[in-house]
Amino acid sequence: MIIECNHCESKVDGIEKGEVYDNDPDYPFPCKRVLVQCPVCKSALLGITEKIQVGHDDWEWDNLHRLWPPQDASIDREIPEIAGVSLVEARLCFKAKAYSACAVMCGRTIEGLCMHHKTKNKTLAGGLKELKEAEIIDTRLFEWGEALRKHRNIGAHASSEKISKEDAKDLLDFSSAICEYVFVLNAKFNRFIERSTKK
């Protein structure tokens, strides 16, 4: 069954090792979870699939959507759409080996983060400074943000300078970490404080 292998960074025809059918009476389509092995790198992958109609009376299992290790495209629901869509695209660009485009999308993720916090300055540099002054990000995150911004400029403008795979990966990790810190951890921390004050 076709599944995306995270190690091989490509779609592979997984060798089936076992399956468990879902029997949720409220869900109209047959659905199952399948454990497969990547034929190339031999790693274990768990996917979910449902039957889709391919002809008048013809149903087939769809390609597997990877549940474990989690597919990169799924991002935490605490991350607002304005930043999340660019982050997802940055990941897709990286996968497609479009490293300059990935850098641009990473920059856009941070722009989304600034817009979410309604920074007044229209430039990314000014926005990041505002976020730091408002203590939404700390000094280290600010420095990461600055690095992202500079690379975004290399990626966005025609020049002989290229974004390497390693740089693109770092930028992607930085953007993910900044979003994680600002949205996911902050929300968690606020809920924690709320619970403590209730006690």
Q: For binding to Zn ion (CB under 5 A), which residues are involved? A: 5, 7-8, 38, 40-41
CB of 17 to Zn ion, least distance (A): 14
Task: Indicate the Cα dihedral angle 181, 7, 71, 191, nearest 10°.
Answer: -30
CB 14 within 8 A of CB 33: no
Q: Which is nearer to Zn ion, 9 or 22 (CB)?
A: 9
* Nearer of residues 43 and 153 to Zn ion, judged by Cβ: 43
Q: How far apart are CA 113 and CA 99, in angstroms?
A: 21
Min CB(67)–Zn ion separation in Å = 16
The smaller minimum CB distance to Zn ion, of residues 2 and 154, is found at 2
Chain-centroid distance of CA 44 in Å reads: 21
> Minimum Å distance from CB 91 to Zn ion?
18
Q: 28: cis peptide before it, omega within 30°? A: no
Of 36 and 93, the one with the shorter C-beta distance to Zn ion is: 36
Which residue number, 42 or 169, has a Cβ lying nearer to Zn ion?
42
Residue 6 beta carbon to Zn ion: minimum distance, rounded to whole angstroms: 8
Q: Are 136 and 150 in contact (CB under 8 A)?
A: no
Check if the beta carbon of residue 179 is closer than 8 Å to that of residue 113.
yes
Look-up of token digits 């979410």: 116
Give me the residues paired with residue 65 across strands. Answer: 48
Shortest distance in whole angstroms from residue 47 CB to Zn ion = 13
Q: Closer CB to Zn ion, residue 5 or residue 131? A: 5
Report residue 29 as tokens. Answer: 């389509």
Q: Compute the least distance from the CB of residue 41 to Zn ion, in Å.
A: 3
The burial of 99, by beta-carbon neighbours within 10 Å (0-12 exposed, 13-18 middle, 19 or more buried), is given as: buried
- Sequence-distant (≥ 6) Cβ neighbours of residue 183 within 8 angstroms: 76, 78, 79, 80, 83
